[in-house]
Amino acid sequence: MTGTRQKPILVLALGNDILGDDGIAFYAARALQEEFSAVADFTETAEAGLALMEMLEGYEYALLMDSVMTGQCDPGTIVEFQTEQFKKVVAPSPHYAGLPEVLELSARLGLDMPTGMRILAMEVADPFTLREELTPDVARALPNLVDAARAILEEWRASVPCTNTH
């Protein structure tokens, strides 16, 4: 199924919106969906590892958004990761550390993966309690994540020639 998709950009929101803060990426993605629907597909998923490879395949650009608990920042802080960072952290888990393997595996299998990839995450307070609300700090910071994601998507949109935006 390698080949190009109809739209050049994928916004991949990772998490779970019935687990409190774990849904932060979903909310951010939903806030941007209408604005960028002409150039981007939006996918929400609780999966990771190999499933991500299948989702990413065929896009030119991919923006991944997720929640994270580093314990080193205040809840609501936006953290950007570089794929190179992951490569240094060799933790063999398809669930938690699947990205480096996915990228490496895709390269070895000759899959058509995005050439541009950005990873935005927000430090969260509670991704363990079943509920549909965000904790207050994270809820307050949601617009910041939306803005950060928007800036990236605008940049990519500008670089895509002759896109029919309507």
Partner 1 sequence: MDEPVKEVFNEARERAAQDYKNQRRITIDPITRLEGHGKIDVFLDQKGEVERAYFQVPELRGFEIFSIGRPAEDMPQITSRICGVCPTAHHMAATKALDDLYKIKPTSAGRKIRELMYNLFMLEDHALHVYVLGGPDFIVGPDAPAAMRNILGVIEKTGLDVGKKVIGMRRRIREAMAYLGGKVVHPVLGLPGGVAKGVKADDLPMFKELAKDGLEFAQFTLQVFSDIVLKNEKYVELVTSENYTHRTNYMGVVDDQNRVNFYDGMIRVVGPEGNEVVKFKAQDYLKHISEHVEPWSYVKFTYLEDIGWKGFTDGPDSGVISVAPLARLNAADAMATPLAQEAREEYFKILGGRPVHYTLANHYARVVEMIQAAETIQELVNDPEITSTDLRNIPTETPTVGIGVVEAPRGTLYHHYETDERGVLTKANLIVATQNNSARMAMSVEKSAKGLIHEGKVDEGLLNMVEMAFRAYDPCHACATHSLPGQMPLRARVYDAEKNIIQEFQK
Binding flag, residue 77, partner 1 (CB under 8 A): no
Helix 24-36 to helix 136-159 angle (10° resolution) is 40
Please say which residue, 38 or 144, places its beta carbon nearer to partner 1. Answer: 144
In contact, 118 and 10? CB cutoff 8 Å: no
Of 4, 73, 89, 155, the residue at the interface with partner 1 (CB under 8 A) is 89
In contact, 9 and 35? CB cutoff 8 Å: no
* Span 30-59, contacts to partner 1 by CB under 8 A: 45-51, 53-54
Which residues, other chains included, contact 42 with Cβ-Cβ below 8 Å and sequence gap of 6+? 11, 13, 29, 30, 32, 33
Please say which residue, 96 or 163, places its beta carbon nearer to partner 1. Answer: 96
CA distance 33 to 19: 22
Please say which residue, 66 or 157, places its beta carbon nearer to partner 1. Answer: 66
Of 32, 86, 152, 157, the residue at the interface with partner 1 (CB under 8 A) is 86
Binding flag, residue 152, partner 1 (CB under 8 A): no
Of 11, 12, 39, 66, the residue at the interface with partner 1 (CB under 8 A) is 66
Least CB distance to partner 1 at residue 144 (A): 17
Take residue 60 and report the two structure tokens written for it: 């030119």
Query: Which DSSP string corresponds to 48-59?
Result: -THHHHHHHTT-
40 Cα distance to chain centroid: 13
DSSP assigned state of 125: S
Least CB distance to partner 1 at residue 103 (A): 10
Of 97, 125, 142, 160, the residue at the interface with partner 1 (CB under 8 A) is 97
**Interface with partner 1 (CB under 8 A):** 1, 14-19, 22, 45-51, 53-54, 66-70, 81, 85-86, 89-101, 104-105, 108-109, 119, 121, 127-131
